[in-house]
Copies of this chain bind each other. A is one copy, B any other.
Amino acid sequence: MESRIGRMCIERGLKMTGQRRVIARVLSEAQDHPDVEELYRRAAQLDSRISVATVYRTVRLLEEKGILERRDFGGGRARYEATEEGDHYHLIDVETGKVIEFEDKEHAELIRRIARDLGFDLVSHRLELFARRRPADAGKDTAATPPARTGGRSKR
């Protein structure tokens, strides 16, 4: 009955108001990286007694609690996703705006080493790739197109 993120809120002793429960549910069910306005739209659909201000406040609270992560994919508005195990990165399709997630151990190690070489300990980082879907290679006729799936997570 309580959404995954709703449960996390309770674990951390947050007061569970009606609007928080709704927002938590929307976040739990989101398969994408919605911005505040989109969250508000989805939440208001479930319970109209909700204001954008509350969404902003909730989203900030959950970020402070480590439940949510804020992203900036350009376009001016912050976008949110539930915190998950292990770093992952985002590739943004410049044509469609679609976001594809991927993991990359090699990259994680590389940047840690770079920071270290410069005399620093890495605290956090930001990586976004902006790319264009490669036109189906003229060379391979019937070859299967690699299935880069939005929302799924590609391991490397």
Q: Considering only CB atoms, which chain B residue lies closest to A72 in the complex? A: B72
**Once bound together, how far apart are the Cα atoms of A119 and B154, in whole Å?**
12
Please name all residues of chain B whose beta carbon is closer than 8 Å to the beta carbon of A156 when the two chains form the complex: 114, 117
- Chain A interface size range: 35 or more
Is B131 a contact of A123 with CB atoms below 8 Å?
yes
Is B123 a contact of A126 with CB atoms below 8 Å?
no
Q: Which single member of B110, B125, B127, B134 contacts A120 (CB below 8 Å)? A: B134
Residues of A89-142 whose CB lies within 8 A of B: 91, 93-94, 100, 102, 104, 106-107, 110-111, 114-134
Q: Considering only CB atoms, which chain B residue lies closest to A118 in the complex? A: B148
A145 within 8 A of B: yes
A13 within 8 A of B: no
Q: Considering only CB atoms, which chain B residue lies closest to A131 in the complex? A: B120
**Once bound together, how far apart are the Cα atoms of A132 and B119, in whole Å?**
9
User: Using an 8 Å CB-CB cutoff, how does the interface string of A138-156 with B read, 1 for contact, 0 for none?
Assistant: 0000000110100000101
Residues of A17-74 whose CB lies within 8 A of B: 72
Please name all residues of chain B whose beta carbon is closer than 8 Å to the beta carbon of A94 when the two chains form the complex: 123
Question: Nearest 8 CB-CB pairs, A to B?
Answer: A120-B131, A118-B148, A119-B148, A115-B131, A126-B128, A119-B146, A124-B130, A125-B129
